[in-house]
Amino acid sequence: MYIPKPLEDRITIPHLKQLKQQAEKFACLTAYDYSFARLLEECGVEVVLVGDSLGMVIQGHETTIPVTLDDIKYHGRAVAAGLQNAMLMLDMPFGSLNSPQQALDHASELIKQTEAQVVKLEGWESQLPIVENLAHFGIATCAHLGLQPQMVHKMGGYRVQGKAEGAAAQMLATAVDLEGAGADILLLECVPAGLAAEITATLTIPVIGIGAGPHVDGQILVLQDVLNVTAGKKPRFSKNFMQDQSSIQDAIARYVSEVKSGKFPDESHSFA
Ligand code: KIV
């Protein structure tokens, strides 16, 4: 059985970059409260995201769109109370990024109230001026490409992105531009494994994947999927880590172990 290894040092952006350079995988998960944040940290999860997925798994909405800045603040403060060394990342919710100035005001407010280290933002090329502005004022960002759940209606559903040649080239170019604009981390959601591998090899910043295959620097899943308590159909890229485990702690420790050893994700959780 995998023995959880609590984090010994504060996880920082340079630390994640070092892991990338050493080709060491890191584990990320979502959390929305103090108790799970503590447990994740005890199991060695390096990055904890207060995702706007809370709109679906905590609040029971059909999409992430109704989540407010106050929701992220509330859950962000609760998660922050449970973390000592793991990196805390917060999602910027739908409607909080309508201009570089608005994004700066909202990101500053979130960081002041939660002491999060990184904010994550969705958007295609529209992220560029926002990332640039946040970087200018010293705010660390995780840009999010591929499937963008906040744009589900515009995209016409939750679908794998970057499959067509032109779309793949566009995603690679945008990823390079985002790194150039000052993004500190990139997250790829539902992207063909080959494209995610190419983006990861091209960028110097760490790349986190969810449904992006095994050849990225870190993996993330929604906690409820890992614990098999998500209602309805489970996404193909997720895995029930409770199977064959006798406690939640064992399941999370198993997730960390499989990410670090490269066992998760395999082909059955990836897209071609
Ligand atoms: O909101 C969220 O939980 C996310 C993850 C799916 C990466 O953005």
* pTM, 2 dp: 0.97
pLDDT-derived band at 12 (thresholds 50, 70, 90) equals: very high
Reported as a single tens digit per residue, the pLDDT across 36-56 is: 999 999 999 999 999 999 999
State mean pLDDT over 49-67.
97
Task: Name the closest-CA residue to atom 8, ligand 1.
Answer: 51
Distance 205 CA to ligand 1 centre (A): 19
Set 179, 189, 198, 258: catalytic member:
189
Task: Give every CB contact of residue 182 below 8 A, 6+ residues apart in sequence.
Answer: 131, 132, 134, 135, 136, 141
Distance 52 CA to ligand 1 centre (A): 6
Reported as a single tens digit per residue, the pLDDT across 227-263 is: 999 988 889 999 999 999 999 999 999 999 999 999 9
Active site residue 189: yes
Domains of the chain: 13-269 (3.20.20.60)
Distance 154 CA to ligand 1 centre (A): 18
Q: Is the CB of 89 under 6 A from ligand 1?
A: no
Ligand 1 atom, smallest distance to 30 CA: 3
Distance of CA 82 to the CA centre of its chain: 18
CA atoms within 13 A on the CB side of 248: 13
